[in-house]
A and B are shown apart, each in its own frame.
Chain A
Amino acid sequence: MQKLCHQVGIAILALFLAGCTKTEQPAQHFSTVDITNSPWGKGFRLTDHHGAERRLEDFKGKAVVVFFGYTNCPDMCPMTMHKLAMAMEGLGQEAQQVQVIFVTLDPKRDTPSILRQYVPAFHPTFLGMYADEHTTDATAKEFKVFYKHQTPDTSGFYTVDHMGPSYVFDPQGRLRLFISHEHPVDAIVQDLRTLLKG
């Protein structure tokens, strides 16, 4: 009985120490915007460019970077995709623990066939994702991404006004970071490393 009490005592002490260790862990510092505990951006349910239905939960264990854009965007979208690809290069081996997702805000023109060419051209592991217009709208709202399709011109071409942030989930599937177009590659690499360390 004394031995049992001793063991329980050690277990309680271990739990107490574990708790102390956790509370003493230094707060994580980020160069991009820390949006931990935001009540929105809980997840998504979209189709990837291979035709498979994907949810945020499918990527548990990886940091997930989600960027909203459209392929008829000549400037900011390819620049952001390129920047995220550079971040993957900067991460080296750790890039295997990161999934970058491009969500189209223009599913009418960005067909799976277009996304299959466009998205992996920046980095072979990147996934393009799409949904019908209703789900695209709901997903953008969930992430507070404003977008608006403009009226087509005589040739049928139209642009899409949109916000250009990328969002980062940690490997536990919690929304953590907001990356704007102004954040440099180094900041993204550093913050992803911090998230992966946990």
Chain B
Amino acid sequence: MKRFATAATILVFLVPSASTMAASPKPATQAAPSGYDSPVITDAWARATVPGQPVGAGYMKITSHTTVVLEAAVSDVAKEVQVHNMHMHEGVMQMRKHGQLELPAGKTVELAPGGMHLMLLGLKKPLKVGEEVSMTLTFTDKQGTKTSTVVILPVRPIGQ
């Protein structure tokens, strides 16, 4: 009986969870070869840049089932990708390197304009509207197990 109750509990837990997943926006991620469920990434996009602009910015929502940190991000379009945080302080725009981005289990972390973003340093060419930026994100859990995810960021117009 106890075993049945446990099984039922798991079932109850899993069913709404599965329906929630089905209703959520289509993840922007592709493959996820790992030892644990890779974080779910949605609403990924990058802002278009103009010629001569050495940097770009990528945005997305990341939800991890397990507590992980974003250890590294790489993209073919830039020499380096860093997590930056931006905020206005008494009318002065300040941008700082954020360091490791922690993703607490079950909490959606949003990288959005005016706040945290993935900074594309040393752009190799301008990002044009309609094109896509491919980015590989590597996460590490508390046990040190790594998982890598490829995210596709459609390029949106500068005004967004």
Q: Report which A residues bind B (CB closer than 8 A).
A: 71-76, 78-79, 82-83, 86, 109, 113-119, 121-122, 146, 150, 153, 155, 157, 159, 161-165, 180
Contacts and interface: CB of A to CB of B under 8 A. Distances in A.
Contacts of A72: 54-55
A155 B53 CA distance: 18
Interface string B43-84: 000010111111111000000000000000000000110101
B interface bracket (residues with beta carbon within 8 Å of A):
20 to 34
A118 B113 contact: no
Given A71-B52, A115-B52, A118-B51, 19 more contacts: A71-B54, A73-B55, A74-B55, A75-B95, A75-B114, A79-B158, A82-B159, A117-B51, A119-B52, A121-B51, A122-B50, A146-B91, A146-B92, A153-B97, A155-B80, A155-B121, A159-B95, A161-B92, A163-B92
B96 interface: yes
B93 interface: yes
A146 B92 CA distance: 7
Contacts of B84: 74, 159
Nearest to A110: B52
A78 B92 contact: no
B156 to A, nearest CB: 12
A115 B51 CA distance: 10
A72 B119 CA distance: 10
B159 A75 contact: no
Majority secondary structure of chain A interface residues (helix, strand, loop or mixed): mixed
Contacts of B86: 75-76
Contacts of B17: none
A157 B84 CA distance: 12
B158 A78 contact: yes
Interface core residue of B47, B54, B114 (most chain A CB under 10 Å): B54
A74 B158 CA distance: 10
A163 B50 contact: no
A79 B51 CA distance: 15
Given A75-B86, A82-B158, A86-B159, A164 B51 contact: no
A83 B120 CA distance: 22
B93 A118 contact: no
Given A72-B55, A146-B92, A162-B93, A78 B50 contact: yes
24 contacts: A71-B53, A71-B55, A72-B54, A73-B55, A74-B55, A74-B119, A75-B86, A75-B113, A76-B93, A79-B113, A82-B158, A82-B159, A114-B52, A117-B50, A118-B52, A121-B51, A155-B121, A157-B80, A159-B94, A161-B93, A161-B94, A164-B91, A164-B93, A180-B91
A196 to B, nearest CB: 24
Nearest to A82: B158
Contacts of B56: 74
B63 to A, nearest CB: 23
Contact of A163 (B82, B91, B120): B91
